[in-house]
Structure 1
Amino acid sequence: MPTLHTYDYAIVRVVPRVERGEFVNVGAIVSCKRANFLKAQIELDEARVLALAPGLDLVPVRATLRAIPDICAGGDAAGALRHLSARERFDWLVAPRSTVIQTSPVHTGRCEDLDLALEKLIARMVRVAPAG
């Protein structure tokens, strides 16, 4: 019988004008405490973000988004956060913020393959299906 993992996830969003509350989903973070699993995948669609805020400076947005997978990995690139457990890093990443980079509320899922669950979240929640 396959092992089912219960995991938590949040969708990463770019909110170019926080006061308007409009956002573009740009990634996902998956955490499974039991499997000591914490990974994020980011796919920034700059054209979609700029459609909401044509003058937005994407340089700091890109830098912040690049940091998310590094924080998940927990190595030297995670800075001081590398000293936290995987679950503590997840909790830090998904804490509510009033900034351009935010996350959705945390949701729970079950799967056999955590990497595949992350890929499916990206496909369903971040990528835009081709027209037609």
Structure 2
Amino acid sequence: MHVHDTYDYAVVRVVPRVEREEFVNVGVILSCERAKFLEACIEVDEARLRALDPAIDLGMVGRHLDAIAAICRGGEAAAPIGLLPPRARFHWLTAKRSAIIQTSPVHMGRCGGDLAATLDHLMERMVRLTKPAG
């Protein structure tokens, strides 16, 4: 009998104008403690961000989002946070903050072991726009 992995995930959001609380989902961070898995997938729809704030600094946003992926990978390149265990890095990344880059509350799920496929599935549901049938 195959044991399902439990995982935690949070949706990464860009909030161009924090005072307005409008956001665009741009990625997902997925963590599975048992598998020592911590990965982020980020896909930015620049047109959607510009619709909320035409003057948004996309370069700055990109640098901050790149830092999320680096922290997930860990190591010295991700500064002191990158040296923490994966679970501690996940909690640091998903801590509540009032900034242009935020995460949703943490949610839990179960999968049959293919965490990369689970991350892609979450991206499809939470980030990527689906085209209407027709």
TM-score (norm 2): 0.95
Structure 1 residue 59, shift from structure 2 partner:
1.1
SS in 1 for 2:8: strand
- Give the deviation of 1:47 after TM superposition: 0.5
Q: Indicate the residue corresponding to 1:119 in structure 2.
A: 120
Aligned-residue offset at 1:67: 1.1
Moved over 3 A (4+): none
**What SS does structure 2 have at the residue aligned with 1:97?**
coil
In the alignment of these two chains, the number of paired residues is 132
Provide the residue aligned with 1:53 in structure 2.
53
User: CA RMSD, aligned part only?
Assistant: 0.9
Partner of 1:91: 91
- Identical-residue share of aligned pairs (%): 58
Q: 1:85-122: per-residue Cα shift (whole Å, max 9, x none)?
A: 00000000000111000000000000011111100010
Shift of 1:77: 2.2
Give the whole-Å Cα distance in 2 for the aligned partners of 1:3 and 1:69: 28
**Alpha-carbon distance in 1 for matches of 2:49, 2:58:** 9
Equivalent residue number for residue 107 of structure 1: 107
The match for 2:81 is 81
Distance 1:7 1:99 in 2: 26
Aligned pairs for 1:25-44 within 5 A: 25-44=25-44
Structure 2: state its 5+ residue gaps.
none
Q: Distance in 2 between matches of 1:4 and 1:74?
A: 25
Q: Output the CA distance in 1 between the equivalents of 2:117 and 2:59.
A: 30
Structure 1 alignment gaps of length 5 or more: none
| Amino acid across the alignment from 2:130 | A
* Contact map agreement 2:29 2:40 (CA 8 A) in 1: yes
Q: Output the CA distance in 1 between the equivalents of 2:75 and 2:46.
A: 28
Q: Aligned ranges for residues 8-23 of structure 1 at < 5 Å?
A: 8-23=8-23
